[in-house]
Amino acid sequence: MSVAPMIEVDGLEVVFGHGSRAFRAVRGISFSVEAGTSFGLVGESGSGKTTVLRAIGGLLPQSAHVSGLMRLAGETLGIERSRAFRRRVQIVFQDPYGSLHPRHTVDQILGEPARVHGLHRVDDRIRRALLEVGLDASFRFRYPHQLSGGQRQRVAVARALIIEPEIVLLDEPTSALDVSVQAEVLNVLGRLRREHGLTYVLVSHNLAVVSHMCDQLAVMQHGMVVETLNVGQMRTDTPEHPYTKQLVRASRGYDRAAVETLEEFEV
Amino acid sequence: MKRQPLLVVEDLRVTFDTPRGRVEAVRGVSFELGREKLGIVGESGSGKSQTGRALLGLIAGNGRIEAKRLSFDGIDLLAADQRTLRSIRGARISMIMQDPKFSLNPVISVGEQIVEAYRVHTKASKREARERALNMLSAVRIRHPEHVFDAYPHEVSGGMGQRIMIAMMMIPEPDIIIADEPTSALDVTVQIQVLAILDDMVKERGTGLLFISHDLNLVASFCDRVLVMYAGRVVETVAARDLRSAKHPYTRGLMNCLPRIEGDGSDLPVLKRDPEWAQ
Ligand SMILES: Nc1ncnc2c1ncn2[C@@H]1O[C@H](COP(=O)(O)OP(=O)(O)OP(=O)(O)O)[C@@H](O)[C@H]1O
Ligand SMILES: Nc1ncnc2c1ncn2[C@@H]1O[C@H](COP(=O)(O)OP(=O)(O)OP(=O)(O)O)[C@@H](O)[C@H]1O
Ligand SMILES: [Mg+2]
Ligand SMILES: [Mg+2]
């Protein structure tokens, strides 16, 4: 018997609003992620990447209409997410400034999810979580504004990990960080995945970050997946879809000639 | 004969008073900006944004700006009165801020904000302004400009918010654009298209562009020259095409931290800072 993938998304649709204002942000996408691997989502701005993460995490606003199937280790997910689900799946948001409560200390920020999930030995867990992301005990009673961007993002990672999830959804986890801090955070994420067998879904505009972190990736455009490929295909520059080829070329830097050759892909 | 630079900055200092003492965010930065694309790179906290903001006098209340010289098109910005400064800001020097979502008013539609920003600097009618706003939104490759025009900031994606800000700043056709991480939330194809628009403004209209970014590869391929900042100072100024072969160990360290598409996924080198660099 084969083991079910950790995450399966099958024909996912997300529509915002109603009637003439209805907008189909995600238009029937499917992918699956094996346990312990890391899956990248790249693609056009506004193509629905964040919306997909929010749909998996059960964090879409009331105004969103969701259809299609999502399964976690073979179990179908409903609209309401149980506390047990929330313990298994955590999201790290893009913005390290906005996502931490400004008047809570690092200690409170990390302690809250542990208490909500009724975990024991919270004190130990906080200490361990900080250590895991490479922050020493002196950070424990600081406020977010007393931390650098990279330190905040590490606190956000620690908060996601403190309840020992199996799946971590990462939305542009390093795009607000400078390259040296990005390297630190990516190293931490890579090590934690290896040590704890975590499964990641990583959204990023940076193809180098995705190549570095992921095994497979899906390329999105207009709410659809145009291609799913192995990182090997990215590294050897052999994607199939013309849009993916454009992405790879554009990620080599600014090139006026490349700009002129860009094509619009209409739906 | 050499053309007069648009902007001359000499020994710029930005200092903040905080309960824990003085913070010297910018410590003696000098450069000239011509009709070119000048990049500023450097690690977080090195003073890139404060350098850009100081040129417009946009420093927090606890901060102080000092300089030997700060002149724009022959105007002494340090001595200029408030009226002169107001007529320069936005209309002749504009800045695309680092956090687009924070800069947009959440309760006013996107289109109305662009129209208002434009009408502050010109006597354009509402219709004209709307027309230009829609044109500019499509110029920054927003696919459904009418839809986005009526949207509220929480209804647009991260990358759209950034392009809305860029559109807003470019409509008055300023002489200098200070762009602070203007494309960090854009996918790479849209990014190079938006940069091409800025590139055209520099080449065709002679705009001076100060381009602040963490993305070393992008700066190397897009800009003409690059200032490399560390701890409030410029440690090195290089031609952009030479950035990848820069001499300074700090610049080299930053380049080494970058993951690569062809990389093998093993741990990345992190920067080992040397106190000498701050001298
Ligand atoms: N609450 C909402 N109400 C209405 N439309 C929304 C809402 N949230 C997102 N959208 C729309 O859904 C589409 C997809 O947005 P999403 O944030 O998922 O894009 P994205 O791929 O993450 O883009 P980016 O790379 O710019 O962050 C966009 O067109 C956006 O305007
Ligand atoms: N209002 C303030 N009070 C005290 N210190 C400040 C204030 N604003 C900025 N600073 C400090 O000034 C320094 C330079 O900040 P600046 O925003 O210019 O950095 P940056 O190079 O733009 O970094 P990043 O890449 O993270 O945007 C930082 O150490 C910052 O903490
Ligand atoms: Mg997004
Ligand atoms: Mg900055």
CB A38 within 8 A of CB A215: yes
Per-range mean pLDDT, top range of A232-236, B108-112, B136-140: B108-112
Place of tokens 């312990």: A36
For residue range B244-266, what is the model confidence (pLDDT) as tens digits?
999 999 999 999 999 998 888 89
Inter-chain residue contact B190 with A186, CB threshold 8 Å: no
What phi and psi, each to the nearest 5 degrees, are found at residue B176? -130, 135
Task: Indicate if the pLDDT at residue A58 is higher than 80.
Answer: yes
Inter-chain residue contact A175 with B160, CB threshold 8 Å: no
What element of type H or E holds A210? helix A207-213
Q: Which two tokens stand for residue B113?
A: 């904000």
Q: Which two tokens stand for residue A127?
A: 């200490």
Query: pTM of the full predicted structure?
Result: 0.87
Residue of B nearest to A265 (CA): B143
Choice among A39-43, A199-203, B127-131 with the minimum mean pLDDT: B127-131
Specify the pLDDT at position A241: 92
ipTM: 0.84
Task: Indicate if the pLDDT at residue A267 is higher than 50.
Answer: no
In DSSP notation, A42-85 reads EE-TTSSHHHHHHHHHT---TTEEEEEEEEETTEEP-SS--HHH
Size of interface A-B (CB pairs under 8 A): 142
> Region B83-103: what's the mean pLDDT?
82
Domain A36-49+79-259 has CATH 3.40.50.300: yes
Task: Indicate if the pLDDT at residue A61 is higher than 50.
Answer: yes
CB B241 within 8 A of CB B37: no
For residue range B159-173, what is the model confidence (pLDDT) as tens digits?
788 888 888 888 888
- Per domain, the residue ranges of chain A are 36-49+79-259
Pick the residue with more confidence: B37 or B156? B37
* Alpha carbon distance B167, B193 (integer Å): 13
**Residue B176: how many CA atoms within 13 Å on its side-chain side?**
23
Inter-chain residue contact A179 with B186, CB threshold 8 Å: no
Task: Indicate if the pLDDT at residue A145 is higher than 90.
Answer: no
> Region A213-222: what's the mean pLDDT?
95
Per-range mean pLDDT, top range of A79-93, A214-228, A234-248: A214-228
Gyration radius of chain B's alpha carbons: 19
Mean pLDDT over all residues of chain B? 89
CB A198 within 8 A of CB A170: no
Task: List CB-based neighbours of ion ligand 4 within 5 Å.
Answer: B 49
* Alpha carbon distance A89, A163 (integer Å): 10
Specify the pLDDT at position A225: 97
Mean pLDDT over all residues of chain A? 90
For residue range B53-83, what is the model confidence (pLDDT) as tens digits?
999 988 888 899 999 999 999 999 999 998 8
B100 falls in which pLDDT band (50, 70, 90)?
low
**Beta strands B208-212; B37-42: pairing state:** parallel
For residue A27, report the distance from its CA to the centre of ligand 3, in Å. Answer: 16
B35 falls in which pLDDT band (50, 70, 90)?
very high
Which residue lies with its CA nearest to atom 19 of ligand 1?
A46
Q: Which two tokens stand for residue A162?
A: 């403190």
> Region B87-110: what's the mean pLDDT?
82
A265 falls in which pLDDT band (50, 70, 90)?
low
The partner residues of B13 in beta bridges, in order of sequence, read: B27, B66
Inter-chain residue contact B268 with A212, CB threshold 8 Å: yes
| Orientation of helix B110-121 relative to helix B158-170, angle to 10° | 20
CB B250 within 8 A of CB B223: no
| Orientation of helix A242-250 relative to helix B188-205, angle to 10° | 50
In DSSP notation, B165-199 reads HHHHHHTT--SEEEEESTTTTS-HHHHHHHHHHHH
Among B147, B190, B218, beta carbon nearest to A45 = B190
Specify the pLDDT at position A264: 67
B102 falls in which pLDDT band (50, 70, 90)?
low
Q: Which residues of A fall within a CB distance of 8 Å from B243?
A: none
Pick the residue with more confidence: A267 or A187? A187
Place of tokens 């361990």: A128
* Nearest CA-CA partner of B195 in B206, B175, B205, B209: B209
* Alpha carbon distance B213, B15 (integer Å): 22
Choice among A107-111, A113-117, B5-9, B140-144 with the minimum mean pLDDT: B140-144
Instruction: Please give, rounded to a whole number of angstroms, the shortest distance from the CA of A257 to a CA of chain B.
Output: 10
- Give Cα A5 to chain centroid, integer Å: 17
**Beta strands B69-72; B7-18: pairing state:** antiparallel
Residue B83: CB atoms within 10 Å: 8
Secondary structure (3-state) at B96: strand
Secondary structure (3-state) at B38: strand
End-to-end CA distance of chain B: 35
Instruction: Please give, rounded to a whole number of angstroms, the shortest distance from the CA of A150 to a CA of chain B.
Output: 9
Q: Which ligand is nearest to the CA of A149?
A: 2
* Alpha carbon distance A33, A41 (integer Å): 11
Specify the pLDDT at position A76: 93
- Give Cα B150 to chain centroid, integer Å: 27
Specify the pLDDT at position A97: 65
What phi and psi, each to the nearest 5 degrees, are found at residue B237? -120, 125
* Nearest CA-CA partner of B31 in B52, B55, B11: B11
For residue B97, report the distance from its CA to the centre of ligand 4, in Å. Answer: 9
